[in-house]
Structure 1
Amino acid sequence: MADTNPAPDPLEIGIILYPGFTLLDLAGPQSALGLHGRTQFFARTLDPVVSDTGAAVVPTATFTHFEGRLDVLLVPGGFGTNDAMRDEALRAFLVRVAPSAGYLCSVCSGSLILGTAGLLANRRATTHWTLFEALEAVGAVPIHERVVNDGNIWTGGGVTAGIDFGLKLLAELRSEDVAKLTQLMMEYDPEPPFATGNPQAAGPALVSAAYAAMGEGTIRETVSIAAARAAEMRA
């Protein structure tokens, strides 16, 4: 007998762009979710937005010209996070659109951008392993896991966690069978060449080198901005 179940409506996916975002933060989940929906990229203008490694993405809509509803609204992280946390246009867009979004999401330091928009207060969330102090500063409840969900708030850890995040959210939005099929289609079967993908496995020497490479001053600034934003929201 032919399958008479109607096909589900395409997912409506929105992804925030800002200068210095990390491409894989959005490409990972978009590769999983985008196979089942339509993706819009939001930014201040329609000019290409350059990532922290030089690749650029072309926005499809601006922060001021969107009135629809999204099933998923995703904020990626990146080395441009500190400036993004200060971006009032981005913050205003999140505050306006988030209440009607089905799922409010982030990968890596994108959770700090959600937090400085007042959207993670007392909510369980995760972020990149270097930034849990900043996540706590914005009022979230930091959870050291690769993917964390608290109601309709879904957050992924650092960079590559976005792929896991996308597949787990797809299982929530569609079904586990759909997510498994998508994982197979993506041939997502990771075999990391080195056992250094988290600070516990990497050891103190590599952790110190990673802090230095990422900029300890920048990380301290991130915590400071997060705390200042949180204080503004409480005032």
Structure 2
Amino acid sequence: MRKPVHIQIVLFDGFDPLDVVAPFEVLHAGGTATGGAVSVELVSAEGPREVVSGTGGMALRAAGSLDPARPGVVLLPGAAGPLGEPPGEDGEPEPGSIPVLLAATLATSLPGLLAEAVGDAAVVVAGVCGGSLIPAMAGLLEGRHATTHHLGLDLLDAAGVHAVRARVVDDGDLVTGAGVTSGLDLALYLLEREAGPRVAHAVEELFAYERRGTVWRATGPVPAAF
């Protein structure tokens, strides 16, 4: 068995529950399959607290504080709510919309903590759906390859990120998944990468779910245009 790996899933106000629960269940099952070598917990930038999601007031409890120096994986979910329209010259963004919820994280201590995590070679930063937009909007992913929900790919581009239209993108110590249900694919890939393919396959069978798409990496020849 490879060395133990710990995953911190970060909760913030308005998070998408599916982006949290799907990876948590997969990674928790990975812990069982490895005899505890994989562990996962819910954390927040503010410490232990009840965090309300963007879906019907559903709340989850963060058990601890995000520790950006702890080796392992820091996983960011996206937000849940109305998509919202970009504000006009005299307008304001729709309250509670996904863009507003994601932007609100930038006014917390989360960007500073993520900057520490991004700068630590022993930490892998992962994002599901809009979760990859948080460090991108904080200016932490310039020049990197990443994906997000297809409606947010232009926001990655605007932040200087090489947006890739793929289910999962592996850019070394940055691993990102596309929209919503890709949290399953991302978590299974993290298990494969950190604990090995046999563990990932066992969990995949347990959940009766087959991963979709090719994990994109910036390796191999550049394909010719079709």
Q: Retained in 1: the 8 A contact 2:131–2:148?
A: yes
Aligned residues: 181
- The alignment status of 1:77 with 2:78, answered yes or no, reads yes
**Residues of 2 paired with 1:124 and 1:95: CA distance?**
17
Identity of aligned residues (%): 33
Q: Relative to 1, partners in 2 of residues 1:121 and 1:68: Cα closer, same or farther, differing over 3 Å?
A: closer
Query: Secondary structure, in 3 states, of the residue corresponding to 1:105?
Result: strand
Would you identify which runs of 4 or more consecutive aligned residues in structure 1 move more than 3 Å? Answer: 7-10
Alignment-mate amino acid for residue 52 of structure 2: V
Which amino acid in 2 is paired with 1:41?
Answer: L
139-148 vs 88-97, which deviates more?
Answer: 88-97
TM-score (norm 2): 0.74
Q: 1:90 aligns with which of 104, 110, 129?
A: 110
Q: Distance in 2 between matches of 1:117 and 1:104?
A: 14
Q: Is the 8 A contact 2:49 2:63 kept in 1?
A: no
User: Could you list the per-position Cα deviations for residues 14-51 of structure 1 after superposition, in whole angstroms to 9, with x for gaps in the alignment?
Assistant: 11111100011122222222222222322224220011
Partner of 1:121: 142
Bigger proportion of residues as helix: 1
How big is the shift at 1:122?
0.7
Q: 1:14 aligns with which of 8, 14, 31?
A: 8
1:61 aligns to 2:81 (yes or no): no
Q: In the aligned structure 2, how far is the partner of 1:68 from the partner of 1:150? A: 20
Looking at structure 2, the residues matched to 173 and 8 of structure 1 have their Cα atoms a distance apart, in angstroms, of 7
Superposed CA offset, 1:44-103 (max 9, x none): 24220011112211112235xx4751311101101321212x224111111123333431
Query: Displacement, 1:8?
Result: 4.4
Alpha-carbon distance in 2 for matches of 1:40, 1:174: 17
Residue in 1 that maps onto 2:223? none
- 1:150 matched to 2:168? The reply is no
Q: Which runs of 5+ in 1 are unaligned?
A: 1-6, 191-235
**Deviation digits for residues 198-220 of structure 1 (CA, Å, limit 9, x no counterpart):** xxxxxxxxxxxxxxxxxxxxxxx
Question: Does residue 28 of structure 1 match 2:14?
Answer: no
> Where is the strand percentage greater, Structure 1 or Structure 2?
2
User: Which segment is superposed worse, 148-157 or 28-37?
Assistant: 28-37
Q: 3-state DSSP class of the match of 2:117?
A: helix
- Amino acid in structure 2 at the alignment position of 1:48: E
Match for 1:50: what amino acid? V
CA displacement, residues 157-209 of structure 1 (integer Å, 9 cap, x when unaligned): 0110110111112111111111111101122259xxxxxxxxxxxxxxxxxxx
* SS, match of residue 140 in structure 2: coil
Q: Does structure 2 conserve the Cα–Cα contact (< 8 Å) formed by 1:16 and 1:76?
A: yes
What 5-or-longer segments of structure 2 have no aligned partner? 32-37, 80-97, 212-226
Find out whether 1:177 has 2:198 as its counterpart: yes
What is residue 99 of structure 1 aligned with on the other side? Answer: 119
- Letter of the 1:11 partner, please give it: V
Q: Which has the larger radius of gyration?
A: 1
Q: Say what the alpha-carbon RMSD is for the aligned residues.
A: 1.9
Q: Please report the TM-score for the alignment, with normalisation by the length of structure 1.
A: 0.71
> Is the Cα contact below 8 Å between 1:126 and 1:132 reproduced in 2?
yes
